């Protein structure tokens, strides 16, 4: 019994470590092709990167804006409720500005993009594995990582931080709209006060996190896709796994980064 | 002397190929030589290892032991960059076509040209349409793969496989899933291609009619070994029971190894 448990535990650890190693190799290989592909006859072309930027980024703008706005409003409601006890409602400007840029903006964006794009990447690559399209790429002489992984990775590296900035703005705007009546100042004054209360490091901390989230989404999405075995059912499983792993990865990475960046 | 003027060198040389899937041995010392210009059919029942052999010839998996030389290059040991260069001379038509579903038929056929050459768009378009004409799919370049019938998919895949004018063409189960007429047309197409483009072809199939029609020589694979290599007549007249089982669609006698049987039943992690 104990024997079995230890065995399963050991197997799980080995799987996890090899999984991390695999994702690390995917990252290195993608960056390698991006940097040196042109001289090796395997260029990462601009067209597919732009296409992916539209898919993972531009198309996510409406949903990111709406949800960030909603979170900004909720955050304002809770902050005002908490700050009222100390008679410090006016501090809601600072609370929202810092909370959003350092934490909620990147986190909401990361989770949304993970839900949209990690699943899409896993499904696309998984079905290509099943229909032998990945094998076809290799026999044509196209490295699958260069062709299928590098473009979405680069696109996410650019678009997740961009979406985070949009999310920051939308959430602060949402917070402002709710707070204005109780603060008795104008919208413009509120926004200026928000900008004043922020230091560059608040914004950059959020952006660094969003870059890490982008990498996680790309690697977990394509990694799950490449690991598909066994037909349509396998694709479904990989898609689910991609979303769960990507969101878990983002939340945990967020905690770890927040801890180290604030020591 | 260039490679083209040395017909003595075989295009494919496989020696002592051994492969495993997990602990199960799939190929058990396969030797295979394919000469330039011939159509070689690799035949065998399900589970004979013929698909595995094909994957290894394509360099998609690493064997446990043995060497594979394509066009004189040892594909297991050459550097990755050289292998990619070699792939320009090798075409593959997959069983299910493996067309890229997100691209039109024309883009599928043009992809190898786009990736491997610096030709301008016009030339690429003309060349890929030419190949579509060769496989009788002229005018179908703007359809998506999902809109094609089974036979058309195979022909489109063939057009993509030959667009770089490869010296060596692999064909996985050309007639699988096709009706007899379409399948016969595809056989004609294969013969025509060989004559017109002087390609060497390796066709993996379990369809006897098709194999006998197109093959110059047939290699019969059984239980991971090459049972016999010979002309169509030699295979037909073979006195090997296993070959005759295959030709006459006889179910094989399954002999049970008592010890092995017990081990399969009792061992915790068999396989």
Q: Which pLDDT value is given to residue B143?
A: 94
Q: Using the predicted structure, report yes or no on whether residue B2 has a pLDDT greater than 50.
A: no
Q: Which of A131, A132, A141 lies at the smallest CB-CB distance from B88?
A: A141
Q: Which pLDDT value is given to residue A100?
A: 95
- Contact call for residues B223 and B241 (beta carbons, < 8 A): no
Give the tokens for residue A244. 């769960």
What is the band of B253 on the pLDDT scale with cuts at 50, 70, 90?
Answer: low
Q: How far is CA A237 from CA A114, A223, B44, B79, B149, in A?
A: 16, 13, 34, 35, 29
Name B168's Cβ contacts closer than 8 Å, sequence gap at least 6.
B11, B12, B70, B71, B89, B90, B91, B199, B200, B201, B202
Q: CB-based contact (8 Å) between B73 and chain A?
A: no
- Contact call for residues A141 and B84 (beta carbons, < 8 A): yes
Low-confidence ranges of chain A (pLDDT < 70): none
Give the tokens for residue B28. 């058990």
- Contact call for residues B68 and B32 (beta carbons, < 8 A): no
Side-chain-side CA neighbours of residue B249 (13 Å)? 4
What is the band of B8 on the pLDDT scale with cuts at 50, 70, 90?
Answer: low
| Strand B217-222, strand B39-43: pairing | parallel
Cβ-Cβ contacts under 8 Å, A138 against chain B: 58, 60
Cα B87 to Cα B216: distance, rounded to the nearest angstrom: 24
Q: What is the pLDDT of residues B24-45, one digit of tens each?
A: 888 988 999 999 989 999 988 8
Give the tokens for residue A240. 């689910």
Q: What is the pLDDT of residues B50-60, one digit of tens each?
A: 888 999 999 98
Q: Which pLDDT value is given to residue A202?
A: 92
Q: CB-based contact (8 Å) between B189 and chain A?
A: no
Q: What is the pLDDT of residues B136-187, one digit of tens each?
A: 899 999 999 999 998 899 999 999 999 999 999 999 988 887 888 888 888 9
A and B: number of Cβ contacts within 8 A: 51
Rounded to two decimals, the pTM is 0.86
Question: Tokens 């076809």 — which residue?
Answer: A136
Cα A221 to Cα A242: distance, rounded to the nearest angstrom: 5
Q: CB-based contact (8 Å) between A135 and chain B?
A: yes
| Strand B24-34, strand B90-93: pairing | unpaired
Give the tokens for residue A70. 């909603």
Side-chain-side CA neighbours of residue A161 (13 Å)? 15
Cα A223 to Cα B146: distance, rounded to the nearest angstrom: 26
Percent of chain B with pLDDT strictly greater than 90: 48
Q: Nearest CA of chain B to the CA of A124: how many Å?
A: 10
Cβ-Cβ contacts under 8 Å, A226 against chain B: none
Q: Is A202 helix (H, G, I), strand (E, B) or coil?
A: helix
Q: Using the predicted structure, report yes or no on whether residue B5 has a pLDDT greater than 60.
A: no
State the DSSP H helix or E strand holding residue B27, giving kind and residue range, or none if neither: strand B24-34
Q: Which of A124, A128, A141 lies at the smallest CB-CB distance from B116?
A: A141
B118-125: Cβ within 8 A, 24+ apart: none
Asked if the Cβ–Cβ distance from A138 to B60 is below 8 Å, we say yes
State the DSSP H helix or E strand holding residue A248, giving kind and residue range, or none if neither: helix A231-261
Q: What is the pLDDT of residues B62-121, one digit of tens each?
A: 899 999 999 999 999 999 888 988 999 999 999 888 999 999 999 999 999 998 888 999
What is the band of B217 on the pLDDT scale with cuts at 50, 70, 90?
Answer: very high
Asked if the Cβ–Cβ distance from A135 to B98 is below 8 Å, we say yes
Which of A41, A43, A48, A139 to mutate to probe the B interface, most B CBs <10 Å?
A: A139
In our burial notation (b when 16+ CB lie closer than 10 A, e otherwise), range B31-50 reads ebebebebbbbbbbbeebbb
Q: Nearest CA of chain B to the CA of A169: how many Å?
A: 35
Q: CB-based contact (8 Å) between A61 and chain B?
A: no
């Amino acid at each position: 019994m104990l024997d079995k448990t230890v065995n399963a535990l050991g197997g799980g650890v080995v799987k996890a470590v090899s999984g991390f190693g695999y994702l690390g190799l995917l990252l290195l290989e993608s960056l390698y092709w991006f940097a040196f592909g042109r001289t090796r006859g395997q260029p990462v072309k601009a067209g597919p990167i732009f296409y992916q930027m539209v898919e993972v980024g531009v198309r996510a703008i409406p949903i990111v804006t709406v949800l960030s706005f909603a979170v900004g409003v909720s955050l304002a409601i809770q902050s005002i409720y908490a700050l009222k006890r100390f008679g410090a409602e006016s501090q809601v400007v600072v609370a929202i500005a810092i909370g959003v840029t350092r934490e909620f903006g990147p986190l909401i964006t990361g989770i949304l993009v993970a839900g949209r794009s990690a699943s899409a990447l896993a499904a696309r690559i998984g079905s290509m594995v099943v229909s032998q399209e990945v094998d076809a790429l290799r026999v044509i002489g196209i490295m699958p990582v260069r062709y299928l992984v590098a473009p979405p990775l680069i696109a996410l590296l650019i678009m997740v931080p961009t979406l985070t900035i949009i999310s920051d703005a939308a959430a602060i705007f949402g917070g402002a709209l709710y707070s204005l009546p109780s603060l008795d100042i104008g919208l413009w004054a509120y926004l200026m006060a928000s900008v004043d209360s922020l230091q560059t490091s608040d914004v950059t901390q959020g952006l660094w996190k969003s870059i890490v989230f982008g990498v996680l989404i790309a690697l977990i999405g394509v990694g799950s896709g490449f690991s598909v075995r066994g037909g349509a059912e396998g694709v479904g499983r990989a898609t689910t796994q991609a979303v769960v792993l990507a969101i878990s990865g983002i939340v945990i990475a967020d905690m770890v980064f927040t801890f180290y960046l604030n020591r | 002397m260039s490679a083209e003027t040395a017909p003595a060198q075989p295009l494919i040389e496989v020696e002592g190929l051994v492969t495993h899937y997990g602990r199960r041995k799939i190929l058990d010392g396969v030797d295979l030589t394919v000469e330039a210009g011939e159509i070689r059919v690799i035949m065998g029942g399900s589970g004979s290892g013929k698909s595995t052999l094909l994957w290894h010839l394509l360099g998609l998996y690493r064997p446990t032991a043995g060497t594979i030389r394509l066009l004189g290059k040892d594909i297991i040991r050459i550097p990755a960059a050289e292998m990619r260069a070699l792939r320009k001379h090798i075409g593959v038509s997959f069983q299910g076509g493996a067309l890229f579903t997100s691209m039109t038929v024309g883009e599928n056929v043009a992809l190898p040209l786009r990736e491997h050459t610096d030709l301008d768009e016009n030339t690429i378009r003309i060349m890929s349409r030419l190949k579509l004409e060769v496989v009788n799919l002229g005018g179908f370049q703007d359809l998506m793969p999902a809109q094609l019938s089974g036979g058309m998919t195979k022909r489109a895949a063939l057009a993509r496989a030959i667009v770089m004018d490869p010296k060596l063409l692999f064909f996985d189960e050309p007639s699988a899933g096709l009706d007899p007429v379409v399948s016969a047309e595809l056989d004609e197409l294969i013969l025509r291609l060989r004559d017109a483009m002087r390609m060497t072809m390796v066709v993996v199939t379990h369809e006897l009619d098709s194999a006998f029609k197109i093959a110059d020589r047939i290699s019969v694979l059984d239980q991971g070994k090459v049972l016999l290599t010979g002309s169509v007549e030699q295979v037909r007249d073979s006195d090997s029971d296993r070959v005759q089982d295959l030709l006459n669609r006889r179910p094989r006698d399954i002999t049970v190894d008592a010890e092995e049987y017990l081990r399969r039943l009792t061992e915790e992690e068999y396989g």
